[in-house]
Chains A and B, each alone.
Chain A
Amino acid sequence: MTKDGGPRIGVYICHCGTNIAGVVDVKAVAAFAQGLPGVALAKDMMYACSEATQREIINDIQQERLDRVVVAACSPKMHEPTFRAALERAGLNKYLFEMANIREQDSWVHKDGQKATEKAKDLVRMAVARARLLIPYKESELPVGERALIVGGGIAGIQAALDLADSGYKVFLVEKEPFIGGHMAQLDKTFPTLDCSTCILAPKMAEVGRHPNITLLTNSEVTEVSGFVGNFKVKVRQKARFVTPECTACGECVPVCPVAVPDEFNLGLGQRKAIYKSLPQAVPAEYAIDIENCLNKPNLLVCEKCLQACSPKAIDFEQPLEKELQLEVDTVIIAIGADPYDPGRSNDYGYGKYENVISTIDFERLISPTGPTLGKLLRPSDLTPPKRIAFIQCVGSRISNPELLGNPYCSGICCMVSIKQALLIKEKLPEAEITIYYIDIRAKGKGFEEMYRRARLAGIRFIKGLPGEVLENKDKSLTLFGENILLGELYEHRHDLVILSVGLEARKESEELQRLFGLARSSDGFFAEKHPKLEPVDTATTGIFLAGAAESPKDIRESSIQAKAAASRAARLMKEGKIRVEALSAEVHEDLCIGCGICESVCPFNAIHVDGTSHVTEAACQGCGVCAASCPVGAIEMHHFTDEQVLAQIEAALADHPEEKVIVFTCNWCSYAGADMAGTSRLEYDPRARLIRLMCSGRLNPVFVLRAFELGAAGVMITGCHPGECHYQSGNLRALSRYQLLKRLLSSLGIPEERLALEWVSAAEGEKFARVINDFVARLEKLRLRPGRVPEEELAKVA
C-alpha cells in the first residue's frame, strides 16, 4: 500500500525477444505505465517468463512492497500460471496478478508500430485498472475418494477399468449392451499386425469379469448425474438379464429356443435366438435373454423350453424388467466409443438396395470365424466366393456439403481398415482381384505405411478416383463408373462385391451424455477435450475424462493409449485424495438478495438454491457467472470477474478517443482462444479492437454494454462459443437472448442497433475472429454516425 492507502502495482512489459519489441515500442509503454494511478514501478524486460526475470519480480514484490503485479506479454493461456506461481513464491496471493496480452492481441496482428504501441498502452491501462480492484481469494480443497465410473465397455473402457482397478481403485463399468467388448469384439483381425481381435481382447474381457475391484454393470445406462469431482451421484438403470450368475454357459438353452431374430452383433447378416451370447468368449459369460423378442414376458410364461433345458436352473423370468442403482463416485471416464457411419443414409452407392454392396463393418462379420458364414467370404446374394472385389474409400467422410449427409472430417482409420481387409481377402481367396478406389491413402501410424506397401506388392490395385455411381447388373454384380484421375480417363468396372469403407461418427447417445455430465462437444459431435494438444484426455469439468473414440475417431491402439492416459489422470486425482478448486465461484451478498430465485433457475450446475436468500454450493459452482449477470439487484459477486473489475476495464479502454474503440467481450474458452489463434497465425485485423475476457459470454451483464456506449465506444461486440459448444452448457444462449434485448433497448435509446454485434468464434477459428472484427469495423465506418450517449436515467433503469 502507498502512504495514502492505495495499491502498489508492479508493471512488467515484455519484449519477447523481437516478437513484441519488433512492433511495439515497449520502453514507451513502460514509461506510460509508470504514470498510471497505483503503479509503483514499471519495467521492460527481454523475456518476462525467464527464471531470472521471475526472480526479479519476486525480489521487487518483497523489496518494493508490491501488492499487485501486471505483466504485459503473451496470452494468459500461455504464462498466467507461471507468473501466478512467482507471486505465490513471493508470498502474494495469486489472484492479485493480471496479464495484458500485447503479443497475440497486438504485436502479432498489427504491423503499424504506432497504432500497436497505442493499443499496448490501452491494454496495459485496462490491466492496471483491473489490477487495482483485484481481490485475494483462498482456494478451497475438496476431498476426492477412490471410486471411478467408466461409461462404456469397449476397448477404451476395458483398458481404463483394468488400469484403475489394478492400481487399487474401485471401478464401476457401465455398458448398455448385455456383453462388453464393443466394436473390437466384432472385428476379425486388427491392423497392421493382423493379429486376431478376439484373441487379444478376450483375456482383457475375462479379467474385467473376474477383477475384485471392478463392478461390471451390463444392460445398464446412466440416467441421472449430479454433484462434482469427489462427489458425483449417478443413477444407473439396469435392464434385467433373466439369467442368473448360476449360468454355466453350457449353451443347452440355445438350440431349444424357438425364436430366431436378426443378430445385431452380426449386423443382421445372421440370426440369433432370444437367449444368446454375442460370441463364445463373451463377458459376462452368462447368456442373456432378449425379452423383447422372447415369447415370455416377465411373470407371464408361455414357453418353458429354455427353463427345462437349463440344468443349473439359472433362468429367472421373475426378475423385475429393470432396476435403478445409485452410485457414488469420485471420478468419471467417458468411453462410449463411436458409431460407424451408416452408408444407407446418403444412399450414394446402393447400400441397403443392392445385396452385394456392404460396409467394412459388415465385412468384419462376414470374414470372422465367429460370424454368420463361419469365416468363409461369400457374397450375400448367392453365397458364392466373389472374384472381383471393390473397396470404395471415404464413404460419408470428407464431405463438407451438409446436403449430402456426410461428415466433413477424415476418420483416419478407414484407409487402414480397407487395406487390412484386402489383405485378409488375399489370404482366403488368393485369386481374387481387389481394387481400392480412393482419394488419398492416409497410412500414418506405426507399421501402417509398411502394410500399405505390402498390400500393393500383394497385387491390390489402387485407383485414384471415387466412383460416381454403382449400378447393379442382372447377375447381381455391380458396375462402378468413375474417373481414373491418374490417367484422366473414365472407367466402367464390374465387381462381384463392393465394400464401402465407412468412417466413425459421434454416438447417438453423445447428446444425452453431454447433457447429463455437463460436457462440451466440438462441431463434429465428438466430446471436446480441455485442450486439444496439452490436455487431450481431460474435459473442461474437473474429474471427468475422455477415452477412446468418444473424443474423436480412433483405432484400437490410439483408444488404448487414451484410455490408459485417462486412467492415470483419474488416478492422479484420486491418489492425492483432495483437489484445490480455483476460486472462480459466485458469492451471494445476502443483505442485497431478494430471494427471487432467478439465479437458481439459470444456474446450469444446480449450484444455487434459494432458502429465503440464495446460497451457492462452492464446490459445484463452475464459475461461469451467468447468475451474476442475471441478478436483478446485483447481489451476486463473481469472484475474480466482478462488475467493478469489468467496468474498470471498459472505462480504461475508453479513456481517450472512445469513438475509435471497439469493445470486444470474449469468453475464456472459445473466442478468447480464437483471438489467440488469430495471433499465432499472424492474421492482421483492425487495431481498434479492445478485448475484455470473461469466463463465459453468459457472464455479460447488459450494464457492461450500456456503459461502453455511454462512454462513447464506436461499437461493442459480444463473442462466445458456438451454440452447443458452451463450456458451461448454455451460457452463450443467455448471451444471445441478452444481445437481442439489448438491440431493442439501444434502438429505443436512439443508438443504432448495428453498433452492437454478436459472433460465435471457436478456439480454432482465428481466421474467423480476424474477419468478424474487420467486417464489424467496416460496418461501423459505413454507419458514419457520431457515437450517441445513453441517458443516465435509462442506465439506472437497466441496472
Chain B
Amino acid sequence: MIEFSGKELQQAVEELSGQKVFACYHCGKCTAGCPFASEMDLTPRQVLEYIMDGRAEVLDSQTIWLCAACFTCTVRCPNGIDIAKVMEALRQILLRRGSDKFDLSELSEQERGELPQIALVAGARKLIG
C-alpha cells in the first residue's frame, strides 16, 4: 500500500491524467455505461469519489485492473472528464513503483506464439510500468 496524504493522491491523479476529478457531479453515467461495472468492487463513479475523498485504498481496488479502457465512460461523461485516463493514472501510480502485473518473460514459447500480437501489446501497455 502506497502512503499518500489525501491531497497528494488527488494531485498525482490530476497530474498524470490531466483531468479535474472535482468536476464530477456524480450523475452515474460512467458506471451505467461500463461493461464491467457488475464485476467491479468499486464502480467508476465511486473511484472518482474515493480520489476526491483522498482515499488511497482506491489503489487496492480491482476496478482499475478490470477497466478495459473501452472509453465508454469517457465518451459519456457530461462534464468531459476522461475517466479512462483517470483509471490509467491510478494504474500508473502503482506500475511506476515497480509493481508490474505482468512479465512478458514468464510467457511460454507456445503462449508467445499463439497469443494475438495486439493482446500482447495491450497487456504490456496496460500492465507494465
Point out residues on A near B: beta carbons under 8 Å: 433, 453, 456-457, 459-462, 464, 484, 486-487
Contacts and interface: CB of A to CB of B under 8 A. Distances in A.
Contacts of A461: 22, 52
A480 to B, nearest CB: 14
B58 to A, nearest CB: 11
Closest 3 CB pairs of A and B: A456-B22, A486-B49, A456-B23
A422 to B, nearest CB: 12
Given A456-B23, A487-B49, 4 more contacts: A461-B22, A461-B52, A484-B53, A486-B26
A484 B49 CA distance: 10
Interface of B: 7, 20, 22-26, 45-46, 49-50, 52-53, 79
Contacts of B79: 453
B49 A457 contact: no
A457 B22 contact: yes
A456 B26 contact: no
A460 B26 CA distance: 15
Nearest to B79: A453
A433 B7 CA distance: 10
Contacts of B22: 456-457, 459-462
A464 B23 contact: no
A453 B7 CA distance: 20
Nearest to B48: A486
B19 to A, nearest CB: 11
Contacts of B50: 487
A487 B46 contact: yes
B54 to A, nearest CB: 9
Contacts of B46: 486-487
A380 B90 CA distance: 40
Nearest to A457: B20
22 contacts: A433-B7, A456-B22, A456-B24, A456-B25, A457-B20, A457-B22, A457-B23, A459-B22, A460-B22, A461-B22, A461-B52, A462-B22, A464-B26, A484-B49, A484-B53, A486-B26, A486-B45, A486-B49, A487-B46, A487-B49, A487-B50, A487-B53
B20 A456 contact: yes
A374 B23 CA distance: 33
A456 B53 CA distance: 14
Nearest to B22: A456
A131 to B, nearest CB: 57
A66 B23 CA distance: 69
Which of A461, A484, A486 has the most B CB atoms < 10 Å from its CB? A486
Contacts of A459: 22
A453 B22 CA distance: 9
Nearest to B26: A486
B29 to A, nearest CB: 14
Nearest to B52: A461
Contacts of B20: 456-457
A487 B45 CA distance: 10
A475 B45 CA distance: 36
